[in-house]
Amino acid sequence: MAKGGAGKRVQRTSSASSSSRRFHTLQMGLKMLTSLKFWVAILVVALVLGFYQLAGRETFSDVLAKEKKMSAAHMAQDASADPLKTKAKTDTKEPNPVKGGKEQHEEVDNTRDTDDQHSMKDSQIREYHVLQMFTKAGNNRGLIDKFKLCFNSMMQKSSIHPDNGEILHLHLVSDPDSKAIAEGIVDTWLKKGLLKLSFHDPVQLTETLYPIVKPMQEKFSAGANAYYGDSIFFLSVGMHKVFPSDTKHIVQLDCDLKFRSDIRELFDMFDRFESDNVIGIAEEQQPVYRHTFWQYRNEHKGTKVGDPPPDGQPGFNSGVLLLNLDRMRGSRLYNSLLNGTVVHAMSEEFHFKGHLGDQDYFTLLSYRYPQLFHVLPCTWNRQLCTWWQDKGYQEVFDFYHDCAGEINIYHGNCNTPIPDG
């Protein structure tokens, strides 16, 4: 019996030992499994880090950014291949300011034009600024014809071209009716990409100019009731205060002109200005100021005021003006003369009451401050009017009116016909 009980105990001990071993084996297996997950995780992390290392550390955001760039490049390529897409994209960028109404400075949107003009906008281009008054043209066939002749002759003779990194920038002071007419006249040159066009509202310009030029209007306007409305005809006097500082030079032209030479040559004359010159202007070619300064001339025998060239001071004609806006802004002398007290004192001194606007003011200034002016050759403003010839000045008229040399610009003032050719 003892032996049998001992056997049973050995059997129970062996069974317990076997069970313990199985439990231990299971426990070790679980530990190995846990350890395997850990190393798998480590391996995955290592692989990811290695991938980014090999890919130049590019993140998901980087990939998106690259995709956007590639997409944009493809869109641009498609648009350049299809001009209709280019036009649609450009036209919706901003409305055409010509249709805006009352902006003081309205630049015409020429994005509909040639590829040359698109490339021109993408590069630095030198602008040659030209300004003309073109107002109240709605029912004025004569003014329309004059403007056509002046503008087309200027463009036909001009060597200023976008291929040379330059362009003529035409500024027109126009009311809405006149603006529509002007657009039709200049449209061909705009479509060729040979012109930049801006419009200026005469009403807003008048409001800006009136405080500046009011003293001149009181002395140099026709009629006591013409003060406010005539401010625009003194634009040249205060143009340096109206145009932005990045406009350095501007050529102002009457509409009754015909170009026979390249306007580039006119701009080249800015380089001939002496250090004190702020304005380039030609002399008057009639005895206008001999007549209007008669009292001063009677009181000052031997004066050169109103005398003909080459030794006299015949006064100026403002049909062609070269305005160095930088010099005008920086000249203390010139700006000190934009003063009612000064204008009144000079007008009293010379017994002068004019009616020709800005050219009266410039003429009066020149008698005391000739250093402000660069005198243009008569050929660059060849005035054709002979109104004063039979008004008591026949004997001296030719001394004023003669102009030797090849004519560069005809000026058909007082509605004088301009010769062909």
Q: What is the pLDDT of residue 24?
A: 56
DSSP characters over 67-111: HHHHHHHHHHHHHHH-HHHHHHHHHTTS--GGGS---SEEE---T
pTM above 0.85, yes or no: no
Grade residue 34 by pLDDT with cuts at 50, 70 and 90.
low
Q: Assess contact for 103 and 193: CB atoms under 8 A.
A: no
Confidence check: pLDDT of 84 > 50: no
Residue where the block lists tokens 């291949």: 81
In the DSSP assignment, the letter for residue 316 is E
Using DSSP's 3-state secondary structure scheme, residue 251 falls into strand
In angstroms, how far is the first alpha carbon of the chain from the final one? 152
Question: What is the number of other CB atoms lying within 10 angstroms of the CB of residue 273?
Answer: 17
CATH code linked to domain 201-415: 3.90.550
Write down the mean pLDDT value for the chain: 80
Grade residue 121 by pLDDT with cuts at 50, 70 and 90.
low
DSSP characters over 41-52: HHHHHHHHHHHH
% of the chain residues with pLDDT over 70:
69
Confidence check: pLDDT of 33 > 60: no
Q: How far apart are CA 289 and CA 315, in angstroms?
A: 6
Q: What is the pLDDT of residue 101?
A: 36
For residue 404, CA distances in Å to 15, 259, 396, 411 come to 139, 17, 17, 15
Type of residue numbered 378: C
Grade residue 66 by pLDDT with cuts at 50, 70 and 90.
very low
